[in-house]
Amino acid sequence: MGALLRFSGFGEIGAGPLARLTLSRLRFVGRTVLDFALPPRCPVCFAPTDAHHAVCGICWGRMPLIAEPVCAVTGAPLPLPSPNGAISPAALAKPPRYRRARAAALYHGPARTLIQGLKYADRHDCAVPMAAWMARAGCGLLKEADLIVPVPLHWRRQLARRFNQSAVLADRLGRVAEKPVAHDVLLRKRATRQQVGLTAAQRSTNVSGAFIVKQSAKNRVEGRTVLLIDDVVTTGATIDACVKAMLRSGAAHVDVLSFARVVQGEEITI
């Protein structure tokens, strides 16, 4: 049961919703069997491909992957030429609580399609290429991490959605990097409004104080380097609230790895 709970990212729910959890697990198994029974298709555009979970050449070419140079702190793209280790004016003006953040892609086109497929359409096949790109973008962060922690959903939203997309990505990254993944350390203690349609200031207020480190798990965080995993970082309000909770509980450093990020000035429609 413990393994089942961890696998599904339901560490905090307990035995109550067991029937729904089992149903969710069966759906996942069914999807996995179908994935391999059907001919391989691109998870973005469904064009036939040579391998399962591989993005086709056209979508690969359109994928807005973030390339060097990036801000050494926030991971935001910097204009060419920029020296190695350069820090963006935004990070200098308002240093974030986290130590370093990296993202694989900008939140556009095929990157956005993958996130929406995983998050809203239960398409776990999207997580395979997403995690592979995250592992590449966050190679240094993964190496230094003592513990990988996904940004949690409130348990009611997780029941409605049946899984936490950040936990799915964290599990994959933990397996690749051979690092422990903790689903039961960081909790979303109150349900927050969905961030869709909120301004940056409203998002910050919405999630302020929403996260805590579980009292009994503080010894797993103290003095450790924690790597927070999220599917997409928009204004950074959710990440900031999570990092604050981790640092309050004694984490030595908190780094952040996401599949995508919204760059300053982009319209937020997540």
How are beta strands 101-106 and 253-261 bridged, if at all?
parallel
What is the bridge-based pairing of β-strands 253-261 and 225-233?
Answer: parallel
Using the rule CB under 5 A, is 56 a contact of Zn ion?
yes
Q: Does 59 bind Zn ion (CB under 5 A)?
A: yes
DSSP-H helix ranges across the chain:
2-8, 18-37, 57-62, 89-93, 109-120, 127-137, 139-144, 155-161, 165-177, 200-207, 218-221, 237-248
Smallest distance from Zn ion to CB 41, Å: 8
Size of the site for Zn ion (CB under 5 A): 6
With CA atoms as reference, report the closest residue to 116 among 270, 234, 257: 270
Window of 1-9, 39-47, 161-169, 219-227 that interacts with Zn ion by CB under 5 A: 39-47
How far is it, in rounded angstroms, from Cα 215 to Cα 58?
48
Which CB sits closer to Zn ion, 44 or 78? 44
Task: Decide: is 241 part of the binding site for Zn ion (CB under 5 A).
Answer: no
- Shortest Cβ 33–Zn ion spacing (Å): 23
Q: How far apart are CA 88 and CA 101, in angstroms?
A: 13
Q: How far is the CB of 60 from Zn ion (least distance, A)?
A: 8
Q: Is residue 63 a contact residue for Zn ion (CB under 5 A)?
A: no
Question: Which of residues 59 and 76 has its CB atom nearest to Zn ion in the complex?
Answer: 59
Residue 44 lies near Zn ion (rule: CB under 5 A) = yes
CA distance 230 to 131: 11
Residue 45 contacts Zn ion per CB under 5 A? yes
42 binds Zn ion (CB under 5 A): yes
Residue ranges in contact with Zn ion by CB under 5 A: 42, 44-45, 47, 56, 59
